[in-house]
Each structure stands twice: as structure tokens, then as C-alpha cells.
Amino acid sequence: MENKQKEIMLFVGLAAVGALTAFGAVMNNKAGREANPQPVAAEPADTETTTATVSESITALVAEKGTGVKVTKSSDWAEQYPNEYNTYVKNDENDEVHSYIELHPYITTLYSGYGFAIQYGSARGHTYVVEDVTSTGRPHKLANCFTCKTSDMTAAALNDNGAYAMPFEDMEAQITDAFGCFHCHQNEPGTLYVTHSYLADAMGDDLSKYDARTLSCAQCHSEYYFDPETKATTLGYVGHDNATPDKILEYYNNLLDADGNPFADWVAEDTGVRKLKTQHPEFETITAAGGIHPDMNCATCHMGTATADDGTTFTNHYWSSPLDNQELLDSSCNVCHGDLTAAVEKIQKETVARTDEIGESLAAANEALAAKVADGSLSDEDLAKARDLARTAQWYWDFVFVENSDGVHNKTLAADCLDKAEKYLGELNEIVGR
């Protein structure tokens, strides 16, 4: 794959540790559960039960806040669930990192003044997330940077919302478990939880409309921001109808500071543009109109079931692209798609080429705007309009650039975002004389 070299959601399972369970999928909330239960043996599910569970929608439980819950580490479940744990550890094999700055040099202009202009590497196996976030060249001030990186941060936020504002180093010192079972199961194997409260808060009653195995991924594969006052990780919408690029941008535009300025992740020093950094909006993309396979969940393609040497059927906890799962391709995908790999590569090639073309042009427009700011040749009205156009065009471009499927999850939405980025870029070019 050229350029971004990202296969279809190679790491979309980030929040799907155990999202598709082969050991019962117990969905009933348990009264009087302990705050820190120890691992207990569970009866293995038979194949018929597993198959039925996979085909039916599962409702996620929402983890309670303020219970004092502690993390049972992933390794503590290894003896009872060796197949699941061994495939989880297999994520260590995904250890290659590509530098997006080297692959797309223009992003240093678009992200100038922000950490992603310093270091921006592709995701690798989720077992590396703590190592990656602590070793990156980007500055990290607060614990909220650990939001999706360690089970300990997840538990800390459940126990105290103020944990997000802790110093980064203080949270780092408390880490006992990296990204692990707790994120999706809390401490109850077989039960799927939404442990990241901001997802439940943002979705409200809409949470019940989505399969738990998709919500497990959505906890981390979603567009978020850090609340300016509390520093808490927060989603940029309330209700799923508002989980669109247009509505999220409107949300940020209406989120004003004391001086009446709209929310910004940072302000570009050379242009004064109040910029937004889209995160990884896989959930918002795949569940939008036009999203691929609305009848499936994330785990269907990125986890699936596997068979151990002794014939035991279990849930695969090695999160990978379906293109890397030949058994899945042969038994399911290619039955309908014929050649899924070729279809995916075609969409990705076209999307990446257009994303790069617009991104390079947008970077040039930013440089032209910086020159206009430096020489003071724009009127106040034109300057304000140019800044808003640059902000808006980059938002729509970034929504596609950082979404890990390169258009495959929802090629309609990707094309629409790039159309809008191109439209606002054209208006910006008129003002800056390009």
C-alpha cells in the first residue's frame, strides 16, 4: 500500500479487547459485585452457544462510577483463558511503525505548532500503547493522554473524574496494566462494559441501539477533545444524530471561551487559525449513513472466532485487518465480495491519492495565508474569513486523513468530507491569491 500504508483498520480493534466473547457473553448486571473481584473459573461455552452469541446483538453494560474499582490485570486471566490471552499477546507481533511525517511531509505545515508536527507514527499492536505514548516526542502534560492507553487510567477516571487533570508522570507511576481486558470487560470476563463514561454520556439513550462489540471499539475509536476546564476526555456531540462531521464542527464552533472564541486544540502561530485536530473517528464514520455493513459489528471483521489445537472454539483477541485473516476471507468475505482485497485496495488508493492532493494544496494555502498575515495585506474582514475557511477545510480533510480505513469504512462519507474540504479550500485560495 502506498503513502499512509494503512490496511483497512489494521488496528481498529483498539478498544475491542475481548469484544467478541466465546465464553458465555453474560449480559445481566450483577447486584452486589465486588469492587475488585479476583479471577474465577468460568464454564466454557459450547460451539452452538458461541455461534448464537455472534449472530445476535449484545447490549453493553455501563460501568458504575465511584465504586473504587481496581484493575485485575490481563495476565491474571491467562491461566483460565489461555487461548484468548495468547492471541492478545500475539499483538506484540504488530511492531512496525511508519512515520506519517516522512510519508506526508505537508502535514508539518498543517499541524505546525502542535505535537503531531513533531512526531506522528502509525499505530502498532495495542500491547505497545503505553510504551508509545510515553516515548513519543510530543509533549504530554496531563493524565488525560493515557485515556485509551492503560486500564489503570480507565479505572482512575471511573473512580474520580478529576483523574484526567493529574500530571502525566503521576499517572504513569500508577500503571500496572497496559491496554487490556478491563477496558471492555471491567473485571468480569464474558460481560461487555462501556468503561469509558464519556461515550455513554455522549450517546445517552442511543447507546442501546448499538452492539456492545461495536461500542467496545467506539470507546477509543471516536472523535474527542479535552474539556478546557476539567481536562476530561469528552466527545464532541450529544446523541448519535449529532455524531457527524458537520454537527461535530458546529459543536466546536459553539463551544466558546471567555473571549468568545470557538474551541481550538491549538492556534497556529503564523496564521492565527484556531485549528482542530480530528482524532480517529472510526465509530462516527462506520455508523454514519453509507457505512459498510451496518448489520455487523467491529469484532465481526477484526476479531472473529478461532479454533485451538484441541478443537476448542474461542474468540480471537489478535486485532487485525480482515485482509490478514485468510480463514475469514475464505469462509465469509470473499463469498460475497469475490476478491475483498482488490476491492479494498482500490478504494484506499483512490481515497489516499485525493486526501494527499487536497492536503498538499491546503498546506500551500496555509503558507500563503501566513505570508498575508506577515505583510498585513488582508483587511480584518478578509483575515477573519480566511482563518475560518482554513479551520473548516482542515477539519473535513483531517476527518478522512486520520480515519484508519482510508475510505473503506464509509466511502460515501469520505468523499463528502473531501468535497467539503475542497470547497472551503477553493474559497480560501481566492482570498490569499492562489
Question: Among 93, 77, 6, which residue's Cα sits nearest to residue 40?
Answer: 77
Q: Residue 219: which domain range?
A: 12-98+121-337
Overall domain count for the chain: 1
Q: Which amino acid is at 106?
A: Y
CA distance linking residue 372 with residue 321, whole number of Å = 45
* Cβ proximity of 239 and 41 under 8 Å: no
402 found inside a domain: no
Count other C-beta atoms under 10 Å from residue 329's C-beta.
17
Question: Among 67, 222, 93, which residue's Cα sits nearest to residue 147?
Answer: 222
Question: Among 158, 163, 281, 168, which residue's Cα sits nearest to residue 231?
Answer: 163
353 found inside a domain: no
CA distance linking residue 197 with residue 65, whole number of Å = 8
330 found inside a domain: yes
Query: Which of the 8 DSSP states describes residue 118?
Result: T
CA distance linking residue 13 with residue 301, whole number of Å = 9
Where does residue 18 fall: left (phi above 0), alpha (psi -120 to 50 degrees), or beta otherwise?
Answer: left
The answer for residues whose C-beta is within 8 angstroms of residue 388's C-beta and 6 or more apart is: none
Going by their DSSP bridges, the two strands 305-307 and 313-315 should be labelled as: antiparallel
CA distance linking residue 291 with residue 157, whole number of Å = 31
CA distance linking residue 187 with residue 388, whole number of Å = 46
Long-range pairs for 207-210: beta carbons < 8 A, 24 or more residues apart? 207/60, 207/62, 208/59, 209/240, 210/240, 210/287
Q: What are phi and psi of 106, to 5 degrees?
A: -65, -20
Locate the DSSP E strands across 55-99.
61-62
179 found inside a domain: yes
CA distance linking residue 19 with residue 194, whole number of Å = 11
Cross-strand bridge partners of residue 234:
225
For cell 506577515, the residue is 374
301 found inside a domain: yes
Condensed to tens digits (0 to 9), the pLDDT of residues 47-88 reads 333 332 344 889 999 999 999 999 999 999 999 999 999 999
Where the chain has pLDDT below 50, the residues are 1-55
Residue 174: what pLDDT? 94
- Report the SS3 class of residue 261: coil
Q: What is the CATH number of the domain that holds 27?
A: 1.10.1130.10
217 found inside a domain: yes
Q: Which amino acid is at 406?
A: D
Query: Angle formed by the axes of helices 380-401 and 340-375, to 10°?
Result: 160
Condensed to tens digits (0 to 9), the pLDDT of residues 37-48 reads 444 433 333 333
Count other C-beta atoms under 10 Å from residue 192's C-beta.
27
192 found inside a domain: yes
CA distance linking residue 313 with residue 380, whole number of Å = 66
59 found inside a domain: yes
- Report the SS3 class of residue 291: coil
pTM of the full structure: 0.87
